[in-house]
Amino acid sequence: METAARTADLVFRPATAGDVPVLVALIESAYRGDDSRAGWTTEADLLEGQRTDPAGVLAVVTHAESQLLVAEREGEPIACCHIEHRGSHAYFGMFAVRPTAQGGGLGKAVMAEAERVARDEWGVREMHMTVIRQRAELIAWYERRGYRRTGRMSPFPYGDERFGIPQRADLEFELLVKELA
């Protein structure tokens, strides 16, 4: 088990279609099931079922205006995130860090690289993301990294098991925004 993430030895690259199976497993391990409980980002108490699937990850990888950014250590994917160019802003999502590597700065490094790509390569001034509003600890982590709560909510897609099986009836997403200037 890794006790602290090392960030100096990370290599970042865009995902390819060949990465899809490994990235689906990484994303699932960070959010759902017993494996996710080894880290602090689990949604296992809020949602059961899948977090994503191969078709969803492949769609992100092949979309012309998006990138699934992979962080590797010694050639092995250890974290990832999705960034999508949406005109005046970029969207950040599908953020996953191997549960046993959480808590040592790896997530902060991945987020910084995603923000750098959005700002320096795409020229956008804001990063947007949606987070399940009941995830107070996760929202606080994003706030410490400069994201602000907007109070703008959107409904959770109840009835669409592609996004998981809700364990409570009050889930919704809140929009968080960060200026990238």
Per-residue pLDDT reduced to its tens digit, 106-135: 999 999 999 999 999 999 999 999 999 999
CATH (domain of 24): 3.40.630.30
Residue 15's domain comprises: 11-129
Does residue 108 sit within a domain? yes
pLDDT at 57 over 80: yes
pTM for the complete prediction?
0.89
Domains in the chain, number: 1
Does residue 5 sit within a domain? no
55 Cβ partners below 8 Å, 6+ apart? none
